[in-house]
Amino acid sequence: GENVEQHPSTLSVQEGDSAVIKCTYSDSASNYFPWYKQELGKGPQLIIDIRSNVGEKKDQRIAVTLNKTAKHFSLHITETQPEDSAVYFCAAAYSSASKIIFGSGTRLSIRP
């Protein structure tokens, strides 16, 4: 069935270093891949998204890459800062099923 796998489940990086979170999806019909950041006690906030007609998208320190052949996509955060500490979720939209499937989340901690 439809599935999105996300790795790692926890990630700790030194402030200023880069963080990479990877996701794979199962349905080749997926064509929309958003990333959400969830801080403690809050709802998920969209930080960046990519559609299947694009291989890479960048917004300041955040970038997302998509490999449709391999069915995986990744989030890259450069020059990490303490405020980047949160849980990050990837997702894949299966338009034929009209719903978004979320990964299990990555808890990112930035060490000072």
Partner 1 sequence: EAGVTQSPTHLIKTRGQQATLRCSPISGHTSVYWYQQALGLGLQFLLWYDEGEERNRGNFPPRFSGRQFPNYSSELNVNALELEDSALYLCASSLVQGSTDTQYFGPGTRLTVL
Q: Which of 34, 66, 74, 88 binds partner 1 (CB under 8 A)?
A: 34
Q: Is the CB of 15 or the CB of 51 nearer to partner 1? A: 51
**Among residues 31 and 78, whose Cβ is nearest to partner 1?**
31
Residue 28 touching partner 1 (CB under 8 A): no
Residue 27 beta carbon to partner 1: minimum distance, rounded to whole angstroms: 12
Please name the amino acid found at residue 50: I
Binding to partner 1 by residue 111, rule CB under 8 A?
Answer: no
Cis ω on the peptide bond leading into residue 82 (within 30° of 0)?
no
* Alpha carbon 94 to its chain's center: 16
Please tell me whether residue 104 binds partner 1 under the rule CB under 8 A.
Answer: yes
Selection from 9, 82, 99 nearest residue 39 by Cα? 82
100 belongs to the binding site for partner 1 (CB under 8 A): yes
Nearest CA to 36 among 62, 67, 15?
62
Report the residue number, 36 or 73, with the smaller CB distance to partner 1: 36
Whether 33 and 50 have beta carbons less than 8 Å apart is answered as yes
Q: Quick check: 43 binds partner 1 (CB under 8 A)?
A: yes
